[in-house]
Homo-oligomer: A and B are copies of this chain.
């Protein structure tokens, strides 16, 4: 068993085409995971993840804050306790539209989905 607080994992810049987004890779292959990885994202006010598409799914749980999720059918408000499933190949983006930090878990498969 590996047990640690999420804040003990370094938050790193989430990369290109993001604004004000840090990511902590909580559970990865290094931890021992074989199937999927757990990441925690922190998005500053007015920040956003990239509007992008990829061939793997996302399983998301909103921990804190408010914002919008943009999918192929438009925008949806998001708040603490919301669950989002984004299937492979669907264009998506999460944006913080509030004055507070938006925090969410986003899990992805470690191996190609197709």
Contact residues of A with B, CB < 8 Å? 1-7, 9, 26-27, 31-36, 38, 57, 59, 61, 63, 69, 71-73, 76, 78-79, 81-88, 90, 92, 105, 107, 109, 111, 113
Chain B min CB distance to A99 (Å) = 22
Given A1-B90, A5-B83, A6-B83, the answer on whether A35 and B78 have CB atoms closer than 8 Å is no
Interface of chain A, helix or strand or loop or mixed?
Answer: strand
B82 and A27 within 8 A (CB): no
Which listed residue, B61, B76, B87, touches A32 by the CB 8 Å rule? B87
CA distance A71 to B59 in the complex (A): 27
Q: Which residue of B lies closest to A24 (CB)?
A: B83
B38 and A107 within 8 A (CB): yes
A61 and B105 within 8 A (CB): yes
CA distance A86 to B2 in the complex (A): 7
